[in-house]
Amino acid sequence: MNKQRFFEWFWLIIKYSFAAGLLALLIRGFLLFPVPVQGSSMADTVSQGDMVLVERLSSVKRFDVVVFNLPDGGTYVKRVIGLPGESVSYKNDQLYIDGKKINEPFLKDNIHDDEENIPYTYDFDFEELMGVKKLGKDSYFVIGDNRRLSKDSRSFGAVSEDEILGKAHFVYYPLKHMKFI
């Protein structure tokens, strides 16, 4: 290989490397970013120490798993149960949105038959819990999938749209936990 060909090849590699690095920075900064899971409030969906990929472009829907920051400085991973303008309540382990029964199929792996006499989600009335009849315009009601051990909207209140960093879509580490959420 002559010198001119070597330098052409070398600059081609430099250009592609720069373009790939720039693309990775754009994706990391604006589309996808990693978040470590802390705590057990989302077990068995995600576990303590899992790393999840979060995207920030799509709109939040019921039952999405979201990542958000609260003023206390904590970063939380929870499931969206109530959307803006809705009222949320639980009675006898059953979710009600605006008085209508809603199934939660993602909980089937969390509820164990040996715990039949203990409610998985303790009963609450939205108005008594939150002090208002419905969620605000940009507010979401979030709960962890591990209901008995979760610090969530039942304790810290609704989460505003501005506090939501994005939706968790994929567990990529550790490899044995790898899955789509």
Q: Active-site residues: which are they?
A: 41, 78
Instruction: Determine the Cα–Cα distance for residues 70 and 140; give it in Å rounded to an integer.
Output: 13
> Cβ–Cβ contacts within 10 Å for residue 25, how many?
10
147, 151, 169: which is closest to 60 by C-alpha?
169
- Cα radius of gyration (the chain): 21
DSSP 47: -
Written as six digits, the tokens of 102 are 């809603």
DSSP string, 68-92: EE-TTS-EEEEEEEE-TT--EEEET
Written as six digits, the tokens of 150 are 């979760």
